[in-house]
Each structure stands twice: as C-alpha cells, then as structure tokens.
Structure 1
Amino acid sequence: MTYSPDLECVAFVGHELIASGTLAEVVHEVKRHHDQNPNDMILVFDNQKSNVIELDLRGSMEDVFGRMASKQPLEEAVAPPKRPGRPKLGVVSKEVTLLPRHWEWLREQRGGASVTLRKLVGEAMHVADGDKDKRAGQQTAYKLMTAVAGDLPNYEEAIRALFAGDAEQFFAQIADWPTGLKNHLAQISRDVFLPPAGA
C-alpha cells in the first residue's frame, strides 16, 4: 500500500517515541535510528487510526523512498466492475429485500421508495454519527496501547477508563508512562473525552 509523504505518523522503539511528524520526516529519523541500532524493533503508526506502516529500511535513504514511491495500491490496479445506477451522480443500484408490508408502506410515501429509503438511511446515519468520533478515537488509542504499552503498569485500568470515557482516570493511569507516549495518546484520544454534542 502507498502512503502520502504528508501523512502524520509516529515511530516507537518499545515504549519510547523516537519520531513524530509527516511520513517523510519520520522515515528519515527511523532510517537513521535503524542504521545506528539495527537490532531495535521500530514500529511506525499513522495518527488517524494507529495502523502499522511497514517500511523496508534496506539500502540507502534514496532506496527506502524509492521503494515507497513505487508501490501501487491494489485498488488502483484492479478496476471496479461497472454497476447499474447513475454513477455520475454517485448513485449505485443494489438489491434491497423487504417484507410485502414494507413495500406497501414505501409505495404510499411521497417521492416513492428510493426517496423514502434515502431519507430514512440519512436520518439513521445522523443519529449514529453522534458517537462516531468518540468510538474512532477509542479504537485508535486502543490499537496503539495494545501494540506499544501492553506491558506497562496500569495498562488494563487505562483501557477501561478509555472505553468509559473517563479522562481523569485515564490520564491518572498513564501518568508514569514515558512522556512521548503519554503526549501522543492525549493527541489521538482527544475526541474520546469531549463532552457530548449539545451538552
């Protein structure tokens, strides 16, 4: 998979943050660290979801960046199949299975079945999106903590506080963790501890 050189990410060796910034900046620091400490296991994560970014650090800095630039994502290599609908408008036709009474109710609605279904789905998405950022922040922090901090003191208590949305308890549990790790967790979990909308 290819990544934008501007992607914000971090690199850790054990519990210690060794680099933070754009992917291009982090790769420079990771390569330098690897050349000086070839036995260190370095983990690089994107800031958005804490997904691991795999780097091939063999050769020179130019070799590393050359390999990164030459990778082609699978999605671009295989063209998606054409489907019925109105693709220029972003509309794709798919099958929906409903009971007869549902179809009857939809036929009676103003605008017909398609308009009514779009409105219903839109309203449901709006309701579900209320906690989306919080859940995403919890998953991002959880993935990083599992990979980097699983053997640190109070790890399980910190995870419980993270999913409870208890900022005070969360930061109390990670207070003695390495500074770089604490600061990064504060950054990627900020949406978890925001008050609910309208509160």
Structure 2
Amino acid sequence: MTDATSTPGLTAFLGCTRIAQGPRERVLADLRRRNDNPPALVFDDASGERVELDLWSTAPAPAADGGARPARGVGRPRLGVVAREVTLLPRHWDWLSRQPGGASVALRRLVEDARRVYADRDAARAAREAAYGFMSSVASALPGFEEASRALFAGDPERFAAHLSGWPADVADYARHLARGAWAAVPEQAS
C-alpha cells in the first residue's frame, strides 16, 4: 500500500531556492508546470541523494528496487534468501563451522545483532552522508561550506548551525533537515 505517508518525499531546488516538495507525483507535476531551464535539482528527502526525474514521460515510476529480480538459483528465494559470495579468513570459516545451525545461521545472527547494536550509529552516519550529499550539490560555493562540512562530520551541531546561518534560508533549512539525525550518536572513530 502506498500513500502520502509511506511514499518517499522529494525536494526540488532551482539554485538556492526550494521550488517543490512532497511526494514524487506532486513534485513531478510542479516541475512540469514550471519547465525551468536549467532544470531543477531534485533530492530524495530520506537519503539526500540526487534523483533524476523524466519530466516528459507518462510511464509509471520504476520500483524502488529498480525492478530487478534476483536470478533464481542458490539460496531460498521464496523466503527472500539470496546466495552471494563472502570472503573470510580460514580461522573465520573454522569458527563458523562450529556454530549451531552452520555458517549461514551464524552469519545471519551476527548481522542482526550488529544491526541492532549499531542502529543509532548507522542512522547518524546516514544522516551525515545525506546532508553532505545535498550540501555538495547545492551549497559547495557558499561561504562556510568547508567549515559546515567539518562540523557535520565532527558531530558538532552548534558549529554546523553557525556556519549555515549566512546561507539562503531554503538551503540552510533543508541541510538542517537532512542532518537532524546526525547528532544522535558519537561519530565513528578512525581505525
């Protein structure tokens, strides 16, 4: 079921001005009415990634997974299990072979445990990357871009906000929106 609350939102910018925001179809309709030249830059509100929209096609939007279906083969496709290659050291394979249920069960358990333990850190990293992707596309020529980027990756929301204060309101608001989850966890330590 797809409705306005489950459909990912998009935001379109023309230069430093937000010109459309909302579900994909609404943003498409707004951009078709405007017919800007040069065309607007459109961003996914969840990931901050640029989205290419075909303003003139009437075909339905592609599925979120690109419409690709995994080839049937090894694994348990009916359960959503897909076989892929994993490269480990011999000591890792030895440990996995001693686990109850075998290597696949142990790997799935390890992945689920890691997803649960590192969920906050992963969400903060995704928010930083989303904000930085948008900022690089729209704000890289604005004063304080480098400093705002450093503050973003350092996990310093006050310094980040201070460097955005001189930016156009639409750009600063959207960068803050994308970065809102970046402050939830301590930045990863370099290893």
Same-fold status (TM-score > 0.5): yes
Q: Provide the alpha-carbon RMSD of the alignment.
A: 2.8
Q: Which has the higher helix share?
A: 1
Aligned residue identity for 1:10: T
Partner SS, residue 192 of structure 1 = helix
What is the rounded CA distance, in whole Å, between the counterparts of 1:183 and 1:101 in structure 2?
Answer: 50
Letter aligned with residue 154 of structure 2:
A
Distance 1:88-1:44 versus aligned 2 partners, 3 A rule: same
Corresponding residue of 1:172:
162
- Report the CA distance shift for 1:68/1:133 in structure 2 as closer, same or farther (over 3 A): farther
Counterparts in 2 of 1:110 and 1:174: CA distance versus 1, 3 Å? same
Q: Measured at CA, do residues 101 and 155 of structure 1 come closer, stay the same or move farther in structure 2, by a change above 3 Å?
A: closer
Partners of 2:53 and 2:104 lie apart in 1 by 46
Render the CA deviation track for 1:44-89: whole Å, top value 9, x for unaligned: 11111222222344xxxxxx3xx1434656943x643212222222
1:49 aligns with: 47
Matching of residue 126 in structure 1 with residue 124 in structure 2: no
Distance 1:160 1:94, change over 3 A: closer
Point out 4+ residue stretches in structure 1 off by more than 6 angstroms: none
The 8 Å contact of residues 137 and 188 in structure 1, kept in 2 or not, is answered as yes
Q: Based on CA coordinates, which of the two structures has the bigger radius of gyration? A: 1
Contact 2:15 2:138 in 1 (8 A): yes
**1:69 correspondence with 2:67:** no
- Greater shift in the superposed pair: 175-184 or 151-160: 175-184
- TM-score, normalised with respect to structure 2: 0.78
Alignment of 1:147-186 (within 5 A): 147-186=137-176
Secondary structure at 1:10's aligned position in 2? strand
TM-score under structure 1 length normalisation: 0.75
Rounded to whole Å, the distance in 2 between the matches of 1:100 and 1:176 is 55
* 1:90 paired residue number: 80
Q: Is the 8 A contact 1:7 1:22 kept in 2?
A: yes
Q: Distance in 2 between matches of 1:68 and 1:7?
A: 19
What is the distance in 2 between the residues matched to 1:100 and 1:51? Answer: 38
Q: Secondary structure at the match of 2:59?
A: helix
Identify if the C-alpha distance between structure 1 residues 176 and 86 changes in structure 2 by more than 3 Å, giving closer, same or farther: same
**What is the aligned residue count?**
181
Identity within the alignment, %: 41
C-alpha distance in 1, partners of 2:128/2:107? 31
Change (3 A) 1:179 1:118: same
User: What are the ranges of 5 or more consecutive residues in structure 1 without an aligned counterpart?
Assistant: 58-63
Q: Structure 1 residue 41: deviation in Å?
A: 3.8
Which of 100, 105, 112 is matched with 1:110 structurally? 100
Shift of 1:168: 0.4
Q: Which residue of 2 aligns with 1:61?
A: none
